Amino acid sequence: MNSSAQTGRGLAWALVGPTLALLVAFNIFPLVYNIVSSFTNAELIGGAWRSVGGANYARVFEDELFAGALRRTALFVVCAVSVELALGFVLALTLQRDFKGKQVVLTTLLIPMMLSPAVMGLYWNLVLNGNYGVVNQALSALGFDPPQWLTDRDYKFWSILLIDVWMWTPFMMLIALAGLNSIPTSIYEAAQIDRASPWKVFTRITLPMCAPVLGLAVLFRATDALKQFDLVMAVTGPNDAATQTLSTLLYQVVFRDGSVGLGAAFSCVILVLVIALATVFTRYIDRVQSKDVNA
C-alpha cells in the first residue's frame, strides 16, 4: 500500500514536472534577470554593467513619460472594458431567444476576436485613413466633416479603442450570453406571476444572476487590455505621445533607446501591478468555481 502510494506520487510528478519546470524556468529567470539589471546601466548592445543604485527606479517614478503611459493604459483598460461589456451585453440580450439562423449570426459575430490584432490593426489603417479611407468617404457623403482618425492627436487614441472594441465586443457578448442562458426560466415565470415590471425583472433577476460570469469577463478583458501592444504598434508605432501604453513604452525604452536597465526597472514596476491583478483574478476564479460545485 505504502509503496503503491509512493509510485503514485512519483508518477504524478513525472506527469506535471516537465510543464511546471518549463514554466518556472521561463518566468523565474526573466524575473531574476529583470530585478538584477534594474539596478544597473545595462544596454541592449554590449558593454559591461555598472551598478547605478536606485537611479532607474527614481526615473520611472519621476519621469512624466512613465506616469503618462500608466494613465493612458488605465484609461484604455477602463474604456475598452466598459464599452465592450455594455455593447456585448446588449447584443447578448438580442440573441437571448432562439431564431432561425442564430448559430450562423452568432459565429459570424465572433470572428473578429479570433483574428490577429497585428494584422487587422495594420489593415484598419486603410479603412480609417483620413484622405482615402472608406469611413471618411462615407462620412463626407453623409455631410459630416470627418477627422483625421490616425494622425490627429485628439483622435488616435480613440481610433485604437474603436478597433479594440470591434475585436473584443464579441468576447463580452459570448460570456454575457452564457450568463443569460444559465438563468432558469422558472425564475422568469415566477416574476411574471408576481407581475414584476420588465425593468424590475432586468435589474433584480437578469443583472444580478449574470454578475458572477460578467465579473470573470471583465477580469479576462482587463488583464488582456493591460498588455495592449499590437494595435498601438500597428496604428501609431511605439513612440507617440498620444497613444503610448505600458507595453509600447517598454518597447521604445528597450529596443529603440537600448536602455535595458531602465526598461528592467519599469518591467518590475509593471510586474508588481500585474501580480496584484492576477491575485485578485485567481481568487475570483476560485470563488466562482467553488460556487459552481455547490450549486
- Answer yes or no whether residue 229 interacts with other proteins by CB under 8 A: yes
| Nearest CB to other proteins, comparing residues 157 and 179 | 179
Distance of CA 259 to the CA centre of its chain: 27
CB nearer other proteins, residue 161 or residue 226: 226
36-65 residues in contact with other proteins (CB under 8 A) are 37, 44
Where b means 16+ CB within 10 Å and e means fewer, 13-32 reads eeeeeeeeeeeeeeeeeeee
Comparison of 49 and 79: residue with beta carbon closer to other proteins = 49
- Grid coordinates representing 62? 519621476
Residue 150 within binding range of other proteins, rule CB under 8 A: no
Q: Does 93 bind other proteins (CB under 8 A)?
A: yes
Cell 534594474, residue? 38
Candidate list 66, 89, 124, 155; residue touching other proteins; CB under 8 A: 124
* 40 beta partners: 51
- 249-268 binders of other proteins (CB under 8 A): 250-251, 254-255, 260, 263-264, 267
Give the dihedral sign, CA 124/130/136/137: negative
Asked if 178 touches other proteins (CB under 8 A), the answer is yes
- One of 15, 142, 193, 295 touching other proteins (CB under 8 A): 15
Is residue 49 within a helix (H) or strand (E), and if so which, with residue range? none
CA gap 85, 170 in Å, rounded: 9
Q: Does 129 bind other proteins (CB under 8 A)?
A: yes
